Structure 1
Amino acid sequence: MRTLLLGGAGFIGLHLARRLLADGHAVTIVDDFSRGRRDADLEGMALDVRHADLTDPRSYLELEHGWDQIYMLAAVVGVRNVERDPSRVLRVNTLALMHLLGWIERDAPLFFASTSEAYAGGVTAGLVPVPTPESVPLVIQDVASPRFSYAISKLHGEAAVLHGAHAVVGRFHNVYGPRMGTAHVIPELSLRAMRGENPFTLYGGEQSRAFCYVDDAVEAMVRLMATPEAFGRIVHIGDDTEETNIADLAKLVLRVAGEDPLIDPVPAPAGSVARRCPDISLLRRLTGFEPRIGLEEGVRRTFDWYRQASAVLEV
């Protein structure tokens, strides 16, 4: 298959590209490299890599048609980026997608990467259950809040692709693993443990998350794109088998690191969701998916990668 990954040089994109190559796909990546990196991992793969600004419609006009699959992963993500420049989040995420929809062939299978942030406002307001199915109401508590700009951009994207393309929407839930940057909880805990931080500051230890290792998330994506019944649907992607609180996660990371510091508990960042866990019943029913990488194994794999790469990482 000829497969196009838009935003494919980033975290999930690179792992997906590796899997698709192993499955025999001819893979083309398009990225502006504002977040994705031309590192050894990317350069060592047999890919067609193109540099383009997907907010410029001319970038799509330079792309050929005839793709067997298209994955739309390009977006401004990350809480720090979102809170620092919400207008950029809304502009980039919206324009890149709308130009894609103006260019894409109507019957080309499209995967659109969305997020659990789409319903985070409902969780905070106590309006939706946890574990959370796809059918819950979507709530934006304050459209002027910078933190909600990412959710708003993804809500718009979900509606746009479901009305304007042959698409499946995958809502990612706390996907983690090697090469995801440093501004995320598991890499951040890992890097601070490596530095021997003592006392060890623990933010929001009482909060809980259900983390999904990136290889499992990629497996879910590949299965969804091979499942005709998934198209026209929103499907949660995650791992509901090992929900953990952040305090226990920190203990796991510190144990993997071989560190035993004093713990300094502090409140979670303002606006952070107290609990997040997907109901992946629909994903299971459609594809037979089951998570395979347990939390401890996934944390060890991630920690080992960051330990080897820490000398060259950029924040």
Structure 2
Amino acid sequence: MLKGKKILMTGGAGFIGSTLVSKLVMNNEILIYDNFSRDSISTKNIKSGNLKIIRGDILDVDFLNKQVNQFKPQVVIHLAAVAGIDTVIKNPVETLDVNITGTFNLMKALEPCSKRLERVLDFSTSEVLGAYAYKSTELDATNFAPVGEARWTYSISKVAGEHILHSYFKTFGYPIVIIRPFNIYGPGQVGEGAIHQFIKNAVLNKDIEIHGDGDQIRSWCYIDDMVNGIMLCLTKRKAVGQIFNIGNPKGTITISSLAEKIVSLTGTKAKIKYIPKNYVDVELRIPSIDKATSMLGYKPKVDLNEGIMRSYKWYKTQLQK
């Protein structure tokens, strides 16, 4: 457990970041730097003198430098990014700019306080492994997908981010760790994730829409297991300089079967509806977590049924307010 640290979190108002803040804020001083393109932290009702929130953009170099230099972090968690299929497809230039230039901006901003740094944790994506990732390890080749498909600007930008972090590790000794999350879900999720949308619609008894025929395969990882993986990456010395897949292979299911499971478990009146898919997609995404298990002791604990019901109860409470 981290205690007495100064923690900078870019993109900390989002789903994963705000959940992590809830866990860390009691014993650490936290600065969230976020443009609030997504806001999950408002649902957390965090009231602590240890938390400061700055509304700022990762592309605003001068303002970013000012905040970093004033705060002088010991731990940095870099979550700021453009993400989500629909958002990425509509905004490929912004995706590349924020995810690549923004990452460079942050690494440069940290240079004056680099000797203080104890950990720099970067969030990449499982999409770097391409459209077909079956029990993929951290050593598998990252995928440079066909040019012209806006969907892949996200994965390409995240591969670039991984190279940037490793370059700063090798050149300047930044104590970096890179996480590749595999389909994280749970209470507080915002954005475009399938399980998030399915559960919300189940609460509202609205049609659950599946793009295509629903045979895409995903491994779903509950947010508490993700946070556990993050904490191990932040506290284990052997994590420095490494990349880790964080996910739950036991939560593997087709998108169609996921929708059916949600309907069955929740008793919703929502109907499953299939609609045309007008974008390229990841067809298979299952991680190998052997490295995280052996090096860090990571072991996901929340099964898919339990995670769905925890999420359903949370969304039901929120949507009925």
Q: 1:9·1:42 contact (CA, 8 Å) conserved in 2?
A: no
Q: How far does residue 37 in structure 1 lie from its aligned partner after superposition?
A: 5.0
Paired residues of 1:9 and 1:37 also in contact (CA < 8 A): yes
Q: 1:66/1:191 Cα in 2 relative to 1: closer, same or farther (>3 Å)? A: closer
Quote the offset at 1:257 in angstroms: 2.5
Q: Does 1:77 align with 2:83?
A: yes
Q: Aligned to 2:121, which of 111, 135, 139?
A: 111
* TM-score, normalised via structure 2 length: 0.88
Partner of residue 98 from structure 1, selected from 101, 104, 114: 104
Contact 1:187–1:306 at 8 Å: present in 2 too? no
Q: How far 1:2 sits from its partner (Å)?
A: 1.4
Query: Is the aligned partner of 1:223 residue 2:232?
Result: yes
Aligned to 2:295: 286
Offset at 1:53?
1.5
Partner of 1:246: 255
Q: Which residue of 1 aligns with 2:73?
A: 67
Q: Determine whether 1:141 maps to 2:145.
A: yes
Name the aligned partner's letter for residue 301 of structure 2.
R
Q: Which moved more, 1:63-72 or 1:8-17?
A: 63-72
Query: Matched residue of 1:277: which SS?
Result: strand
Secondary structure, counterpart of 1:39 in structure 2 = helix
Secondary structure at 2:8's aligned position in 1?
A: strand
The 3 A distance-change label for structure 1 pair 217 and 138 is: same
Give yes or no for contact 2:22–2:46 (8 Å, CA) kept in 1.
no
Shift of 1:291: 0.4
C-alpha displacement at 1:288, in angstroms? 0.5
Q: Partners of 1:242 and 1:37 in 2: how far apart?
A: 24
Which residue is equivalent to 2:161? Answer: 157
Whether the aligned pair in 2 keeps the contact of 1:8 and 1:36 (CA below 8 Å) is: no
Separation in 2, partners of 1:53, 1:261: 39
Q: Hey, what does 2:210 align to over in structure 1?
A: 202
Structure 1-normalised TM-score? 0.89
The Cα shift of 1:74 comes to 0.5
Q: Is 1:21 the counterpart of 2:29 in the alignment?
A: no
Which moves more between the two structures, 253-262 or 223-232?
253-262
- CA-CA distance at 1:170 after TM superposition: 0.3
Where does the alignment leave 5 or more consecutive residues of structure 1 unmatched? 124-128
In the TM superposition, what whole-angstrom CA distance separates every residue of 1:136-171 from its partner, at most 9, and x where no partner exists? 111222132210111111111100011113200000
CA separation of 1:287/1:175 partners in 2, compared to 1, >3 Å: closer, same or farther?
Answer: same
Question: Would you say the 8 A contact 2:219–2:287 is kept in 1?
Answer: yes
Distance 2:189 2:313 in 1: 13
RMSD over aligned CA atoms reads 2.0
- CA shift for structure 1 position 265: 4.2
Deviation of 1:209 (Å): 0.8
Structure 1 residues 73 and 264, CA, compared in 2 at 3 Å: closer, same or farther?
closer
- Aligned match of 1:126: none
CA contact (8 A) 1:205 1:268 kept: no
| SS, match of residue 251 in structure 2 | coil
With over 3 angstroms needed to count, the CA separation of the structure-2 counterparts of 1:265 and 1:19, relative to structure 1, is same
Report if aligned partners of 1:171, 1:236 keep a CA contact under 8 Å in 2.
yes
